[in-house]
Amino acid sequence: MNSDYTDKNPALGALYAEHIEALTARHDHALEQAGASHAVIYSGNPKIAFLDDYQMPFKPNPHFISWVPLARLPFSYIVYTPGETPILIYCQPHDYWHVVPGAPDGFWTSEFDIRIVHSVDDVAAHLPADRQKCIAIGEIDDDALAFDIERVNPTTAVSILHYARGAKTQYELATLRLASQRGASGHIAAEAAFRNGESEFEIHRAYCKAVSHTDQELPYGNIVALNEHGAVLHYTDLDRRPPADSRSFLIDAGAQVHGYASDITRTYASSDERFQALIDRMESMQQDIVSQVRAGVDYRELHIATHKMLAAVLVEAELATGNPDTLLETGVTSAFFPHGLGHLLGIQVHDVGGFMEGESGTTVDPPSGHPFLRLTRVLDENMVLTIEPGLYAIDMLLENLRGTPAESHVNWATVEWLRPFGGIRIEDNVRVLVNDRENLTRDAFAL
């Protein structure tokens, strides 16, 4: 699925060797702190639908993907012992109902001692003999798949690994750039379909074709929202018929390469100049926020600063009146912008570790009144995160302002104007540097 994007980056293999070195160092530390000698990382297994024999789409353990770019390899294991070549127990079942994984092949194979098995029952022979010295990492919902390893996902080790995953290796950064390029091609195709008057469903199909993904291969369900649907933050219904008047288009869609995801949002106007001017103003604000990303910045403070910047936009657009502090304190900005500024990005779209204060597992709460912020850490070099401010006409949230001090600060007539357009969100994927940043999304569109 991803070979075309791999071929565009011949250095990926060399970077992968360095990536494995970084992973082994992290796991050495995690094992030492956990008092264990071996890490056994399970890829996962498909889930069966309730009262059926249908297998739901397989989602691999992200810990497994961090070691090896095999997103379609259930019932497999990595065994890591400090100082030894990692073992990949590669499950290649005898099966005529499903496609069987092919022979191991690719830039990653030289880093592993690969043991091919044809049944889960064959796995045990390749695990360390002393299970008491092992920890297992992964979603193990059947004790038989733990093979008598009693310590499954121990907090000490997992916290160390999750915190470390916040900073990406050069291999991960290269893969995320490729995922951004793939996603950008889909967004370009989706905008063209919107301009052509297509339905949400057809726009979604155009996107999937451009990125060469089936729905199951997408890192998350595409948000393809026309008109009022743009006010539904996670809209995924996909109308089959185009509206009589396509006024606006919000698309939040990503792509993946080797299990690493992009997460990009764009908003477009059809022909309304006033709504286009508001998109342009939000675009300018979003880029201002991106320019503040650098190592040492407290992301919570950047989120609050975004609300104050949004307050100025609301006043300029005649959606609200008042100074930024008042609009923030009364909840006006949160009614128009209820979600967080962004989150960590990597193997998982909402990558782990966003709330962690350190590798001990202690967490940092989001600011009071902002419960949906998914990243509360101080930014560090080579983190990759999203910057995605929004502005929406969400009836439920705006009606909650009625009868409160916030009501007098809302220009309800302008809200009525905005409602048919739904809302605006602009999202980029950004790498943190010491005194700068790399915008993976803008670079991808430029290509």
pLDDT confidence tier of residue 1, bands split at 50, 70 and 90: very low
| Residue that terminates a domain, selected from 98, 130, 164 | 164
Q: Which range of residues forms the domain containing residue 306?
A: 170-446
| Residue that terminates a domain, selected from 164, 199, 221 | 164
pLDDT at 6 over 60: no
pLDDT digits (tens, 9 = 90+) for 64-110: 999 999 999 999 999 999 999 999 999 999 988 888 999 999 999 99
225 and 159 in one domain? no
Q: For position 233, which CATH number holds?
A: 3.90.230.10
pLDDT for res 11: 75
CA dist 2 and 183 (Å) reads 13
Average pLDDT over residues 57-65: 95
339 and 323 in one domain? yes
Given a contact cutoff of 8 angstroms between Cβ atoms, the answer to whether 72 and 102 are in contact is no
178 and 150 in one domain? no
pLDDT confidence tier of residue 184, bands split at 50, 70 and 90: very high
330 and 286 in one domain? yes
pLDDT at 125 over 60: yes
pLDDT for res 8: 47
pLDDT at 5 over 70: no
Average pLDDT over residues 159-173: 97
Both tokens of 240, joined, read: 């089959």
59 and 194 in one domain? no
Q: For position 64, which CATH number holds?
A: 3.40.350.10
| Residue that terminates a domain, selected from 164, 190, 215 | 164
281 and 356 in one domain? yes
Domain count, the chain: 2
pLDDT digits (tens, 9 = 90+) for 367-415: 999 999 999 999 999 999 999 999 999 999 999 999 999 999 999 999 9
pLDDT digits (tens, 9 = 90+) for 292-324: 999 999 999 999 999 999 999 999 999 999 999
Q: Which pairs from 413-420 meet CB under 8 Å and 24+ separation?
A: 414/317, 414/318, 414/319, 415/319, 417/274, 418/275, 418/278, 418/319, 418/393, 419/228, 419/231, 419/393, 419/395, 420/227, 420/228, 420/247, 420/248
pLDDT digits (tens, 9 = 90+) for 135-149: 999 999 999 999 999
Beta-strand ranges (E) seen in 204-327 are 223-226, 248-253, 256-257, 260-261, 264-269
pLDDT for res 349: 96
Q: Which pairs from 171-174 meet CB under 8 Å and 24+ separation?
A: 171/12, 171/15, 171/16, 171/18, 171/19, 172/19, 172/260, 172/346, 172/384, 173/382, 173/384, 173/431, 174/9, 174/11, 174/12, 174/15
pLDDT at 2 over 70: no
Average pLDDT over residues 18-45: 98
Given a contact cutoff of 8 angstroms between Cβ atoms, the answer to whether 8 and 185 are in contact is no
pTM for the model: 0.96
pLDDT digits (tens, 9 = 90+) for 39-55: 999 999 999 999 998 88
CA dist 391 and 303 (Å) reads 14
Pick from 66, 40, 44, 67: nearest CA to 135: 40
365 and 424 in one domain? yes
pLDDT digits (tens, 9 = 90+) for 274-285: 999 999 999 999
pLDDT for res 98: 85
pLDDT at 7 over 90: no
Beta-strand ranges (E) seen in 232-369 are 248-253, 256-257, 260-261, 264-269
227 and 139 in one domain? no
pLDDT for res 10: 63
- Give the dihedral of Cα atoms 203, 72, 59, 14; nearest 10 deg: -90
346 and 267 in one domain? yes
Q: What are residue 188's phi and psi, to 5 degrees?
A: -65, -45
- Coil, helix or strand at residue 107: coil
247 and 374 in one domain? yes
